[in-house]
Amino acid sequence: MEHPSETDLVKRILDGEPQAFSVLLRRYQRPVHSLIRQIVYSREDAEELTQDVSVKAFTKLCSFRGGSSLSTWLYRIAYNAAISSTRKQKPLYPEFDEKMLGNIPDEAVDELLNKEHDEALMQRMEAALERLHPADRALISLYYSEERSISEVSAITALSPENVKVKLFRIRKKIVFLINNPGHE
């Protein structure tokens, strides 16, 4: 089956063929929804936001200049929309200070985050992820689930590549801290 290129699809949509958007939608709806689902709290909100983001991508397609890949551009729209939707809710996130994160050895982090077949640990890890700040969850989701490179994560989140690296390093420690201290406020 013939796979039209993204440039070709974008051109066809902008030339007045909105049906061509369904090809892009089929290609990107899952990863976009997956990122949004990691950021927002409810399944219904994630679904609604994915719809809104898709329609927004269609209406703003003329502003896509091709400076980045289409997937990066779509992720950026999804990331911004999801983060601003979480700003309306004000849940409390646990506070972390540098000292307590610094006390966690890197080897312990590596070991814990690679223990794949421990169901109890997986449940604690899921609970820890739930308590992270949405922007932190977005960052690890982009890097680990969506397998974006550091430069792509940087382009999506508008953080510098160095900042992304530092944040990823700290988020891993935060997860381990929350797994070991589930009651931490």
Partner 1 sequence: MNKDVALRKALSRRTDGLPEGFEQRVMNRVLLEAEKKSRREEVISLFVVSSVSLALLAGGIFVLRYFFSFNMLDLFANVQFRMEYSPLLIHCVFIASIILILLGLDYKFRQMFRKARREHGS
Contact residues for partner 1, defined by CB under 8 A: 12, 16-22, 25-26, 29-30, 33-34, 37-38, 43, 47, 50-51, 54-55, 58-59, 110, 112-116, 118, 121-122, 125-126, 129-130, 140-141, 144-145, 147, 172, 175
The answer to whether 50 and 33 have CB atoms below 8 angstroms apart is yes
**Rounded to whole angstroms, how far apart are CA atoms 8 and 103?**
52
Shortest distance (Å) from residue 147 CB to partner 1: 8
Token couple for 51: 């719809």
State the minimum distance, in angstroms, from the CB of residue 117 to partner 1. Answer: 9
Identity of the residue, 143 or 155, whose beta carbon is nearer to partner 1 in the bound complex: 143
> Of the candidates 50, 16, 10, 58, which has an alpha carbon nearest to the alpha carbon of residue 32?
50
Nearer to partner 1, 74 or 125 (CB): 125
Q: Is there a contact between 75 and 148 (Cβ–Cβ < 8 Å)?
A: yes
Rank residues 37 and 167 by Cβ distance to partner 1 and give the closer one: 37
Q: Could you tell me the smallest distance in angstroms from the CB atom of residue 79 to partner 1? A: 15
Please state the closest distance from residue 88 (CB atom) to partner 1, in A. 21
Compute the CA torsion angle 168, 31, 152, 97 (nearest 10 deg).
Answer: -20
Q: Which lies closer to partner 1 via its Cβ, residue 70 or residue 140?
A: 140
CA distance 31 to 104: 32
Rg (CA), the chain: 18
Instruction: Return the number of the residue (26 or 99) whose C-beta is nearest partner 1.
Output: 26
**Minimum separation from the CB atom of position 46 to partner 1 (A):** 8
Strand runs labelled E in the chain: none
